Structure 1
Amino acid sequence: MSDSWFKFNISCCVGNGNNIGFWQFKWYGNQTFCDLFPDLYAKEAIKNVKVFERLRGNGLVPLWRWNWSESLSVNEAQQLTELQGLFDGFSLPNNNHDLWRLIPDLNGLFTVKSCYTYLLDLQQVELQDAHVLEAVQRLWKSDVPSKVNVFGWRLLLNRLPTRAALHPHDILTNHHELSCVFCFQQAKDEKHLFFSCPFSKGVWNKVLSWLGTSLQIGVEGRDHFLLFGDLFKMKDKDRVWYLVWLTTAWNIWNLRNKVIFKSKIPDVSSLLETIKLRSW
Protein backbone atom coordinates (compact mmCIF):
# COMPACT_ATOMS: atom_id res chain seq x y z
CA MET A 1 0.00 0.00 0.00
CA SER A 2 1.51 3.34 -0.99
CA ASP A 3 2.45 6.13 1.44
CA SER A 4 0.10 8.52 -0.36
CA TRP A 5 -2.81 6.18 0.31
CA PHE A 6 -1.99 6.26 4.03
CA LYS A 7 -1.53 10.01 4.11
CA PHE A 8 -4.74 10.97 2.40
CA ASN A 9 -7.14 8.19 3.28
CA ILE A 10 -6.19 6.97 6.75
CA SER A 11 -5.95 9.01 9.93
CA CYS A 12 -4.13 7.95 13.08
CA CYS A 13 -5.56 7.83 16.59
CA VAL A 14 -2.45 7.69 18.74
CA GLY A 15 -2.45 5.51 21.83
CA ASN A 16 0.87 4.24 23.14
CA GLY A 17 2.64 5.39 19.98
CA ASN A 18 4.21 2.00 19.27
CA ASN A 19 2.92 1.69 15.69
CA ILE A 20 2.70 5.25 14.39
CA GLY A 21 5.58 7.05 12.73
CA PHE A 22 6.43 10.35 14.43
CA TRP A 23 7.35 12.31 11.30
CA GLN A 24 5.50 10.76 8.41
CA PHE A 25 1.94 10.30 9.69
CA LYS A 26 -0.84 12.72 10.54
CA TRP A 27 -1.27 11.76 14.17
CA TYR A 28 -1.37 15.23 15.80
CA GLY A 29 -3.09 17.86 13.70
CA ASN A 30 -3.84 17.89 10.00
CA GLN A 31 -0.25 17.84 8.70
CA THR A 32 2.72 15.56 9.10
CA PHE A 33 5.68 16.89 11.06
CA CYS A 34 8.01 16.13 8.16
CA ASP A 35 5.97 18.65 6.14
CA LEU A 36 5.72 21.20 8.95
CA PHE A 37 9.40 21.02 9.90
CA PRO A 38 11.32 19.76 6.85
CA ASP A 39 14.67 21.06 8.16
CA LEU A 40 14.35 19.05 11.36
CA TYR A 41 13.19 16.00 9.45
CA ALA A 42 16.26 16.26 7.20
CA LYS A 43 18.49 15.91 10.30
CA GLU A 44 16.46 13.13 11.94
CA ALA A 45 18.76 10.11 12.30
CA ILE A 46 15.92 7.57 12.02
CA LYS A 47 13.33 8.73 9.48
CA ASN A 48 10.69 6.09 10.33
CA VAL A 49 11.03 6.47 14.10
CA LYS A 50 7.86 5.78 16.11
CA VAL A 51 6.07 8.29 18.32
CA PHE A 52 6.93 6.57 21.61
CA GLU A 53 10.65 6.65 20.72
CA ARG A 54 10.62 10.44 20.62
CA LEU A 55 7.87 11.42 23.04
CA ARG A 56 7.52 9.98 26.55
CA GLY A 57 5.79 10.91 29.79
CA ASN A 58 2.30 10.87 31.25
CA GLY A 59 2.44 14.19 33.05
CA LEU A 60 1.86 17.77 31.93
CA VAL A 61 5.45 18.14 30.69
CA PRO A 62 6.33 15.77 27.80
CA LEU A 63 9.75 14.10 27.86
CA TRP A 64 11.61 14.30 24.55
CA ARG A 65 14.32 12.00 23.23
CA TRP A 66 15.93 13.26 20.03
CA ASN A 67 18.53 11.68 17.80
CA TRP A 68 20.00 14.01 15.18
CA SER A 69 22.38 13.06 12.39
CA GLU A 70 24.25 16.36 12.98
CA SER A 71 24.03 19.42 15.20
CA LEU A 72 21.09 21.75 14.76
CA SER A 73 21.61 25.31 13.58
CA VAL A 74 20.25 28.26 15.56
CA ASN A 75 17.24 28.45 13.25
CA GLU A 76 16.62 24.70 13.52
CA ALA A 77 16.88 24.86 17.30
CA GLN A 78 14.15 27.53 17.24
CA GLN A 79 12.00 25.25 15.07
CA LEU A 80 12.51 22.46 17.58
CA THR A 81 11.28 24.75 20.35
CA GLU A 82 8.19 25.53 18.26
CA LEU A 83 7.54 21.85 17.63
CA GLN A 84 7.84 20.94 21.31
CA GLY A 85 5.62 23.89 22.24
CA LEU A 86 2.77 22.32 20.29
CA PHE A 87 2.67 19.54 22.88
CA ASP A 88 2.28 21.61 26.06
CA GLY A 89 -0.05 19.64 28.32
CA PHE A 90 -0.06 16.61 26.01
CA SER A 91 0.53 13.08 27.25
CA LEU A 92 0.39 9.69 25.55
CA PRO A 93 -2.39 7.38 26.75
CA ASN A 94 0.06 4.54 27.29
CA ASN A 95 -2.65 2.03 28.20
CA ASN A 96 -4.37 2.34 24.81
CA HIS A 97 -3.31 0.85 21.51
CA ASP A 98 -2.79 2.93 18.38
CA LEU A 99 -5.82 2.95 16.09
CA TRP A 100 -6.33 3.68 12.43
CA ARG A 101 -9.40 5.32 10.99
CA LEU A 102 -10.44 4.90 7.36
CA ILE A 103 -11.40 8.42 6.30
CA PRO A 104 -13.89 7.49 3.53
CA ASP A 105 -16.04 5.59 6.04
CA LEU A 106 -18.11 7.65 8.52
CA ASN A 107 -17.44 5.12 11.28
CA GLY A 108 -13.73 4.98 10.49
CA LEU A 109 -13.92 1.25 9.85
CA PHE A 110 -12.70 -0.61 6.79
CA THR A 111 -15.49 -1.90 4.57
CA VAL A 112 -15.42 -2.98 0.96
CA LYS A 113 -18.39 -0.70 0.28
CA SER A 114 -16.63 2.41 1.60
CA CYS A 115 -13.52 1.72 -0.48
CA TYR A 116 -15.62 1.00 -3.56
CA THR A 117 -17.56 4.24 -3.11
CA TYR A 118 -14.34 6.15 -2.60
CA LEU A 119 -12.79 4.74 -5.78
CA LEU A 120 -15.94 5.57 -7.73
CA ASP A 121 -15.66 9.17 -6.55
CA LEU A 122 -12.06 9.31 -7.79
CA GLN A 123 -12.62 7.72 -11.17
CA GLN A 124 -12.88 9.65 -14.39
CA VAL A 125 -16.35 9.09 -15.78
CA GLU A 126 -16.37 7.80 -19.34
CA LEU A 127 -19.82 8.12 -20.88
CA GLN A 128 -20.93 5.19 -23.00
CA ASP A 129 -23.51 5.27 -25.74
CA ALA A 130 -26.82 3.44 -25.42
CA HIS A 131 -25.70 0.50 -27.60
CA VAL A 132 -22.70 -0.17 -25.36
CA LEU A 133 -24.80 -0.08 -22.19
CA GLU A 134 -27.43 -2.35 -23.69
CA ALA A 135 -24.79 -4.84 -24.83
CA VAL A 136 -23.10 -4.89 -21.42
CA GLN A 137 -26.43 -5.34 -19.62
CA ARG A 138 -27.27 -8.32 -21.82
CA LEU A 139 -23.77 -9.71 -21.39
CA TRP A 140 -24.03 -10.08 -17.62
CA LYS A 141 -27.20 -12.16 -17.99
CA SER A 142 -25.31 -14.86 -19.87
CA ASP A 143 -24.93 -18.19 -18.14
CA VAL A 144 -21.16 -18.56 -18.57
CA PRO A 145 -18.14 -18.76 -16.22
CA SER A 146 -17.14 -15.41 -14.75
CA LYS A 147 -13.81 -15.36 -16.60
CA VAL A 148 -15.65 -15.66 -19.92
CA ASN A 149 -18.04 -12.88 -18.92
CA VAL A 150 -15.12 -10.60 -18.04
CA PHE A 151 -13.48 -11.46 -21.35
CA GLY A 152 -16.71 -10.58 -23.21
CA TRP A 153 -17.01 -7.33 -21.27
CA ARG A 154 -13.47 -6.33 -22.29
CA LEU A 155 -14.18 -7.32 -25.89
CA LEU A 156 -17.34 -5.19 -26.07
CA LEU A 157 -15.43 -2.22 -24.63
CA ASN A 158 -12.38 -2.77 -26.89
CA ARG A 159 -10.09 -3.42 -23.93
CA LEU A 160 -8.42 -6.70 -24.86
CA PRO A 161 -4.59 -6.83 -25.03
CA THR A 162 -4.41 -7.46 -28.77
CA ARG A 163 -1.25 -6.74 -30.73
CA ALA A 164 -2.79 -3.55 -32.09
CA ALA A 165 -3.68 -2.42 -28.56
CA LEU A 166 -0.21 -3.14 -27.18
CA HIS A 167 1.67 -1.35 -29.96
CA PRO A 168 0.86 2.28 -28.93
CA HIS A 169 2.22 1.52 -25.45
CA ASP A 170 5.59 0.38 -26.86
CA ILE A 171 5.03 -3.18 -25.63
CA LEU A 172 5.24 -4.45 -29.21
CA THR A 173 7.54 -2.34 -31.36
CA ASN A 174 8.26 -4.68 -34.26
CA HIS A 175 5.78 -3.97 -37.09
CA HIS A 176 6.13 -7.56 -38.30
CA GLU A 177 4.46 -8.67 -35.05
CA LEU A 178 1.37 -6.54 -35.62
CA SER A 179 -0.24 -8.60 -38.36
CA CYS A 180 -3.21 -10.90 -37.70
CA VAL A 181 -2.11 -14.37 -36.63
CA PHE A 182 -4.82 -15.98 -38.79
CA CYS A 183 -4.64 -14.13 -42.12
CA PHE A 184 -1.34 -12.20 -41.72
CA GLN A 185 -3.00 -8.95 -42.76
CA GLN A 186 -2.52 -5.71 -40.84
CA ALA A 187 -4.89 -5.79 -37.85
CA LYS A 188 -5.88 -2.29 -36.76
CA ASP A 189 -8.21 -3.29 -33.93
CA GLU A 190 -10.14 -6.10 -32.26
CA LYS A 191 -12.88 -6.02 -34.89
CA HIS A 192 -10.49 -7.48 -37.43
CA LEU A 193 -9.38 -10.35 -35.20
CA PHE A 194 -12.89 -11.40 -34.22
CA PHE A 195 -15.08 -10.37 -37.15
CA SER A 196 -13.26 -9.08 -40.28
CA CYS A 197 -10.53 -11.69 -40.59
CA PRO A 198 -11.43 -14.34 -43.22
CA PHE A 199 -10.67 -17.08 -40.70
CA SER A 200 -12.94 -15.58 -38.01
CA LYS A 201 -15.66 -14.96 -40.59
CA GLY A 202 -15.48 -18.62 -41.53
CA VAL A 203 -15.86 -19.63 -37.87
CA TRP A 204 -18.94 -17.42 -37.36
CA ASN A 205 -20.52 -18.69 -40.58
CA LYS A 206 -20.04 -22.28 -39.41
CA VAL A 207 -21.51 -21.47 -35.99
CA LEU A 208 -24.55 -19.72 -37.52
CA SER A 209 -25.04 -22.62 -39.93
CA TRP A 210 -24.93 -25.03 -36.98
CA LEU A 211 -27.66 -22.95 -35.31
CA GLY A 212 -29.70 -22.84 -38.50
CA THR A 213 -29.63 -19.09 -39.03
CA SER A 214 -27.54 -16.30 -40.60
CA LEU A 215 -26.41 -12.76 -39.92
CA GLN A 216 -26.12 -9.84 -42.30
CA ILE A 217 -22.68 -9.21 -43.79
CA GLY A 218 -20.50 -6.47 -42.35
CA VAL A 219 -21.86 -6.46 -38.79
CA GLU A 220 -19.07 -6.30 -36.20
CA GLY A 221 -18.36 -5.75 -32.52
CA ARG A 222 -21.23 -4.76 -30.23
CA ASP A 223 -23.74 -4.76 -33.11
CA HIS A 224 -22.74 -8.33 -33.89
CA PHE A 225 -23.34 -9.30 -30.26
CA LEU A 226 -26.75 -7.62 -30.06
CA LEU A 227 -28.02 -8.91 -33.42
CA PHE A 228 -26.82 -12.42 -32.63
CA GLY A 229 -29.12 -12.59 -29.61
CA ASP A 230 -32.04 -11.00 -31.46
CA LEU A 231 -31.99 -13.79 -34.02
CA PHE A 232 -33.65 -16.15 -31.59
CA LYS A 233 -37.12 -15.87 -30.09
CA MET A 234 -37.24 -18.22 -27.16
CA LYS A 235 -37.39 -18.30 -23.39
CA ASP A 236 -34.09 -17.48 -21.67
CA LYS A 237 -32.53 -16.63 -25.05
CA ASP A 238 -30.15 -14.18 -23.32
CA ARG A 239 -28.67 -16.96 -21.23
CA VAL A 240 -28.46 -19.44 -24.10
CA TRP A 241 -27.64 -17.64 -27.32
CA TYR A 242 -25.26 -15.07 -25.89
CA LEU A 243 -23.59 -18.07 -24.31
CA VAL A 244 -22.88 -19.40 -27.81
CA TRP A 245 -21.62 -15.98 -28.93
CA LEU A 246 -19.29 -15.71 -25.95
CA THR A 247 -18.10 -19.28 -26.38
CA THR A 248 -17.23 -18.58 -30.00
CA ALA A 249 -15.37 -15.36 -29.26
CA TRP A 250 -13.62 -16.96 -26.27
CA ASN A 251 -12.38 -19.88 -28.39
CA ILE A 252 -11.20 -17.58 -31.18
CA TRP A 253 -9.18 -15.69 -28.56
CA ASN A 254 -7.77 -18.90 -27.05
CA LEU A 255 -6.81 -20.19 -30.48
CA ARG A 256 -5.14 -16.88 -31.26
CA ASN A 257 -3.00 -17.28 -28.11
CA LYS A 258 -2.12 -20.87 -28.98
CA VAL A 259 -1.03 -19.81 -32.48
CA ILE A 260 1.26 -17.15 -30.99
CA PHE A 261 2.71 -19.07 -28.05
CA LYS A 262 2.43 -22.72 -29.11
CA SER A 263 2.59 -22.47 -32.93
CA LYS A 264 -0.78 -24.19 -33.30
CA ILE A 265 -2.18 -24.34 -36.84
CA PRO A 266 -5.67 -22.75 -36.99
CA ASP A 267 -8.44 -24.89 -38.43
CA VAL A 268 -12.08 -23.77 -38.75
CA SER A 269 -13.64 -27.24 -38.53
CA SER A 270 -11.64 -28.22 -35.47
CA LEU A 271 -12.50 -24.95 -33.75
CA LEU A 272 -16.19 -25.40 -34.52
CA GLU A 273 -16.21 -28.79 -32.78
CA THR A 274 -14.60 -27.21 -29.72
CA ILE A 275 -17.24 -24.45 -29.71
CA LYS A 276 -20.08 -27.00 -29.94
CA LEU A 277 -18.64 -29.06 -27.10
CA ARG A 278 -18.05 -26.15 -24.76
CA SER A 279 -21.41 -24.56 -25.57
CA TRP A 280 -23.35 -27.68 -24.62
Structure 2
Amino acid sequence: METSCKSVFPKCYDLSTRFYVKSKYRKDAGNLREKVIDLSELLVGFSLHSLNPDKWKWLPDTSGLFSVKSCYQVLLENSEIIVLDSNVLTAIKHLWRNDAPSKVLVFGWRLFLDRLPTSWIGKSIIAGVDGWNHFKLFGEMVKMKNSERISHLIWLATTWNIWKLRNNMIFHGAILNASSLLDDIKAFSWAWVNGRYGHK
Protein backbone atom coordinates (compact mmCIF):
# COMPACT_ATOMS: atom_id res chain seq x y z
CA MET A 1 0.00 0.00 0.00
CA GLU A 2 1.42 3.38 -1.02
CA THR A 3 1.75 6.04 1.69
CA SER A 4 2.17 9.74 1.03
CA CYS A 5 5.23 11.63 2.27
CA LYS A 6 2.81 14.01 3.97
CA SER A 7 1.53 11.24 6.26
CA VAL A 8 4.98 9.70 6.91
CA PHE A 9 6.72 13.05 7.52
CA PRO A 10 3.99 15.42 8.72
CA LYS A 11 6.34 17.95 10.36
CA CYS A 12 8.58 18.15 7.30
CA TYR A 13 5.52 18.64 5.14
CA ASP A 14 4.20 21.31 7.48
CA LEU A 15 7.52 23.14 7.40
CA SER A 16 7.66 22.97 3.61
CA THR A 17 4.42 24.90 3.44
CA ARG A 18 5.60 27.71 5.78
CA PHE A 19 7.97 30.63 5.21
CA TYR A 20 9.50 30.53 8.68
CA VAL A 21 10.04 28.06 11.52
CA LYS A 22 7.90 28.65 14.61
CA SER A 23 9.40 28.22 18.03
CA LYS A 24 7.57 24.97 18.73
CA TYR A 25 9.57 23.30 15.96
CA ARG A 26 12.88 24.45 17.40
CA LYS A 27 12.30 22.17 20.39
CA ASP A 28 12.04 19.20 18.03
CA ALA A 29 14.99 20.23 15.86
CA GLY A 30 16.95 17.04 16.56
CA ASN A 31 14.05 14.76 15.77
CA LEU A 32 13.22 16.86 12.73
CA ARG A 33 16.78 16.50 11.37
CA GLU A 34 16.42 12.72 11.60
CA LYS A 35 13.15 12.88 9.71
CA VAL A 36 14.71 15.07 7.02
CA ILE A 37 17.56 12.56 6.66
CA ASP A 38 15.04 9.69 6.38
CA LEU A 39 13.12 11.64 3.77
CA SER A 40 16.32 12.39 1.84
CA GLU A 41 17.15 8.67 1.75
CA LEU A 42 13.70 7.93 0.34
CA LEU A 43 14.26 10.46 -2.43
CA VAL A 44 17.65 9.07 -3.57
CA GLY A 45 17.43 8.47 -7.29
CA PHE A 46 14.75 11.08 -7.90
CA SER A 47 15.78 14.03 -9.99
CA LEU A 48 13.69 17.11 -9.35
CA HIS A 49 14.20 19.91 -11.84
CA SER A 50 12.43 23.23 -11.65
CA LEU A 51 12.46 23.40 -15.46
CA ASN A 52 10.47 20.15 -15.76
CA PRO A 53 7.00 20.74 -14.36
CA ASP A 54 5.01 17.96 -12.74
CA LYS A 55 2.43 16.30 -14.96
CA TRP A 56 -0.29 13.71 -14.77
CA LYS A 57 0.39 10.19 -16.05
CA TRP A 58 -2.40 7.76 -17.00
CA LEU A 59 -0.97 4.42 -15.87
CA PRO A 60 -3.31 2.08 -17.79
CA ASP A 61 -1.89 3.32 -21.11
CA THR A 62 1.78 2.88 -22.05
CA SER A 63 1.86 6.40 -23.51
CA GLY A 64 0.85 7.81 -20.12
CA LEU A 65 -1.91 9.80 -21.82
CA PHE A 66 -5.56 9.47 -20.93
CA SER A 67 -8.01 8.43 -23.62
CA VAL A 68 -11.64 7.39 -23.52
CA LYS A 69 -10.67 4.18 -25.32
CA SER A 70 -8.13 3.19 -22.65
CA CYS A 71 -10.56 4.10 -19.87
CA TYR A 72 -13.28 2.02 -21.53
CA GLN A 73 -10.83 -0.87 -21.83
CA VAL A 74 -10.00 -0.66 -18.11
CA LEU A 75 -13.71 -0.68 -17.27
CA LEU A 76 -14.29 -3.70 -19.51
CA GLU A 77 -11.39 -5.62 -17.99
CA ASN A 78 -12.59 -4.94 -14.44
CA SER A 79 -16.33 -5.37 -14.93
CA GLU A 80 -18.58 -8.34 -14.57
CA ILE A 81 -20.31 -9.28 -17.80
CA ILE A 82 -24.07 -9.65 -17.43
CA VAL A 83 -26.04 -11.33 -20.18
CA LEU A 84 -29.43 -9.66 -20.58
CA ASP A 85 -32.63 -11.31 -21.67
CA SER A 86 -33.37 -10.60 -25.35
CA ASN A 87 -36.77 -9.16 -24.37
CA VAL A 88 -35.09 -6.64 -22.07
CA LEU A 89 -32.66 -5.65 -24.85
CA THR A 90 -35.53 -5.14 -27.29
CA ALA A 91 -37.40 -2.99 -24.76
CA ILE A 92 -34.26 -0.91 -24.13
CA LYS A 93 -33.85 -0.30 -27.88
CA HIS A 94 -37.47 0.91 -28.09
CA LEU A 95 -36.98 3.01 -24.95
CA TRP A 96 -34.06 5.00 -26.42
CA ARG A 97 -36.14 5.90 -29.50
CA ASN A 98 -38.44 8.07 -27.40
CA ASP A 99 -38.20 11.82 -27.12
CA ALA A 100 -38.55 12.13 -23.35
CA PRO A 101 -35.88 14.04 -21.39
CA SER A 102 -32.59 12.15 -20.93
CA LYS A 103 -33.03 11.75 -17.17
CA VAL A 104 -36.40 10.07 -17.76
CA LEU A 105 -34.96 7.70 -20.36
CA VAL A 106 -32.15 6.81 -17.96
CA PHE A 107 -34.78 6.19 -15.28
CA GLY A 108 -36.62 3.78 -17.64
CA TRP A 109 -33.37 2.03 -18.52
CA ARG A 110 -32.52 1.56 -14.85
CA LEU A 111 -36.04 0.29 -14.20
CA PHE A 112 -35.65 -2.41 -16.89
CA LEU A 113 -32.30 -3.46 -15.42
CA ASP A 114 -33.62 -3.44 -11.84
CA ARG A 115 -31.04 -0.78 -10.96
CA LEU A 116 -33.21 1.82 -9.27
CA PRO A 117 -31.97 2.82 -5.79
CA THR A 118 -34.79 1.30 -3.76
CA SER A 119 -32.83 0.12 -0.69
CA TRP A 120 -32.01 3.56 0.82
CA ILE A 121 -34.62 3.14 3.54
CA GLY A 122 -33.58 -0.35 4.59
CA LYS A 123 -36.13 -2.08 2.37
CA SER A 124 -35.36 -3.59 -1.00
CA ILE A 125 -38.14 -3.37 -3.56
CA ILE A 126 -37.92 -5.42 -6.74
CA ALA A 127 -38.88 -2.63 -9.09
CA GLY A 128 -38.04 -4.01 -12.52
CA VAL A 129 -39.75 -7.40 -12.51
CA ASP A 130 -41.14 -7.83 -16.03
CA GLY A 131 -40.90 -4.05 -16.55
CA TRP A 132 -39.97 -4.70 -20.17
CA ASN A 133 -43.21 -6.68 -20.64
CA HIS A 134 -45.32 -3.89 -19.14
CA PHE A 135 -43.53 -1.40 -21.41
CA LYS A 136 -44.16 -3.59 -24.47
CA LEU A 137 -47.85 -4.14 -23.69
CA PHE A 138 -48.31 -0.44 -23.04
CA GLY A 139 -46.81 0.26 -26.47
CA GLU A 140 -49.40 -1.98 -28.14
CA MET A 141 -52.44 -0.35 -26.46
CA VAL A 142 -53.16 2.40 -29.00
CA LYS A 143 -53.65 1.62 -32.69
CA MET A 144 -52.75 4.67 -34.78
CA LYS A 145 -49.77 6.27 -36.53
CA ASN A 146 -46.77 6.48 -34.18
CA SER A 147 -48.96 4.79 -31.56
CA GLU A 148 -46.11 2.76 -30.06
CA ARG A 149 -43.96 5.85 -29.51
CA ILE A 150 -46.89 7.82 -28.07
CA SER A 151 -47.85 4.95 -25.75
CA HIS A 152 -44.25 4.62 -24.60
CA LEU A 153 -44.10 8.34 -23.81
CA ILE A 154 -47.28 7.96 -21.73
CA TRP A 155 -45.73 4.92 -20.00
CA LEU A 156 -42.61 6.96 -19.22
CA ALA A 157 -44.69 9.87 -17.92
CA THR A 158 -46.66 7.45 -15.72
CA THR A 159 -43.72 5.55 -14.24
CA TRP A 160 -41.62 8.72 -13.86
CA ASN A 161 -44.35 10.56 -11.94
CA ILE A 162 -45.07 7.55 -9.74
CA TRP A 163 -41.34 7.32 -8.95
CA LYS A 164 -41.13 11.04 -8.13
CA LEU A 165 -44.20 10.81 -5.89
CA ARG A 166 -42.77 7.75 -4.14
CA ASN A 167 -39.53 9.64 -3.41
CA ASN A 168 -41.39 12.73 -2.22
CA MET A 169 -43.45 10.61 0.16
CA ILE A 170 -40.38 8.84 1.58
CA PHE A 171 -37.94 11.74 1.79
CA HIS A 172 -40.19 14.80 2.16
CA GLY A 173 -43.30 13.41 3.83
CA ALA A 174 -45.58 14.22 0.87
CA ILE A 175 -49.11 12.85 1.01
CA LEU A 176 -50.51 10.67 -1.77
CA ASN A 177 -52.95 12.58 -3.95
CA ALA A 178 -54.19 10.39 -6.80
CA SER A 179 -55.93 13.28 -8.57
CA SER A 180 -52.74 15.38 -8.55
CA LEU A 181 -50.71 12.39 -9.74
CA LEU A 182 -53.09 11.83 -12.66
CA ASP A 183 -52.90 15.52 -13.59
CA ASP A 184 -49.09 15.36 -13.58
CA ILE A 185 -49.10 12.24 -15.78
CA LYS A 186 -51.44 13.94 -18.26
CA ALA A 187 -49.39 17.15 -18.30
CA PHE A 188 -46.07 15.34 -18.84
CA SER A 189 -47.57 13.07 -21.51
CA TRP A 190 -49.06 16.03 -23.36
CA ALA A 191 -45.84 18.03 -23.17
CA TRP A 192 -43.67 15.17 -24.42
CA VAL A 193 -46.02 14.09 -27.22
CA ASN A 194 -46.79 17.60 -28.51
CA GLY A 195 -43.81 19.60 -27.33
CA ARG A 196 -40.17 19.62 -28.25
CA TYR A 197 -39.72 16.03 -27.03
CA GLY A 198 -42.59 14.67 -29.13
CA HIS A 199 -41.30 15.52 -32.61
CA LYS A 200 -38.53 13.94 -34.62
In 2, distance between residues paired with 1:83 and 1:246? 59
In 1, distance between residues paired with 2:83 and 2:147? 28
Residues 38-57 of structure 1 aligned to structure 2 (within 5 Å): 46=12
1:95 is matched with: 51
Preserved contact between residue 87 and residue 132 of structure 2 (Cα < 8 Å): yes
1:147 is matched with: 103
Residues 252-267 of structure 1 aligned to structure 2 (within 5 Å): 252-260=162-170, 261-267=172-178
* CA displacement at 1:230 relative to structure 2: 3.1
Could you say what secondary structure the match of 1:102 adopts? Answer: coil
Structure 1: any 5+ residue segments left out of the alignment?
8-22, 26-40, 51-65, 73-79, 173-177, 179-186, 193-219
1:128 is matched with: 84
1:69 is matched with: 35
Matched, 1:221 2:131: yes
Q: Which has the larger radius of gyration?
A: 1
RMSD: 3.9
Matched, 1:240 2:196: no
User: 1:46-74: per-residue Cα shift (whole Å, max 9, x none)?
Assistant: 47999xxxxxxxxxxxxxxx9533998xx
1:198 is matched with: none
Going from structure 1 to structure 2, the CA distance change for 1:239 and 1:48 (only over 3 Å counts) comes to: farther
Which amino acid in structure 2 is aligned with residue 256 of structure 1? Answer: R
Could you say what secondary structure the match of 2:35 adopts? Answer: coil
User: When you count strand as a share of all residues, which structure comes out higher?
Assistant: 1
Which amino acid in structure 2 is aligned with residue 262 of structure 1? Answer: G
* CA displacement at 1:112 relative to structure 2: 3.8
* CA displacement at 1:274 relative to structure 2: 2.0
Going from structure 1 to structure 2, the CA distance change for 1:46 and 1:115 (only over 3 Å counts) comes to: farther
Matched, 1:230 2:133: no
Preserved contact between residue 141 and residue 238 of structure 1 (Cα < 8 Å): no
Going from structure 1 to structure 2, the CA distance change for 1:108 and 1:240 (only over 3 Å counts) comes to: farther
User: 1:123-164: per-residue Cα shift (whole Å, max 9, x none)?
Assistant: 1222211112112221111110111111111211122223xx
1:189 is matched with: 126
Going from structure 1 to structure 2, the CA distance change for 1:141 and 1:238 (only over 3 Å counts) comes to: farther
Normalising by structure 1, we get a TM-score of 0.48
In 1, distance between residues paired with 2:111 and 2:182? 20
Identity of aligned residues (%): 42
Structure 2: any 5+ residue segments left out of the alignment?
17-31, 191-200
Matched, 1:157 2:113: yes
Preserved contact between residue 138 and residue 238 of structure 1 (Cα < 8 Å): no
In 1, distance between residues paired with 2:77 and 2:153? 33
1:250 is matched with: 160
Going from structure 1 to structure 2, the CA distance change for 1:121 and 1:230 (only over 3 Å counts) comes to: farther
1:15 is matched with: none
In 2, distance between residues paired with 1:221 and 1:250? 13
Could you say what secondary structure the match of 2:56 adopts? Answer: strand
After the TM superposition, which of the residue ranges 93-102 and 232-241 deviates more from structure 2? 232-241
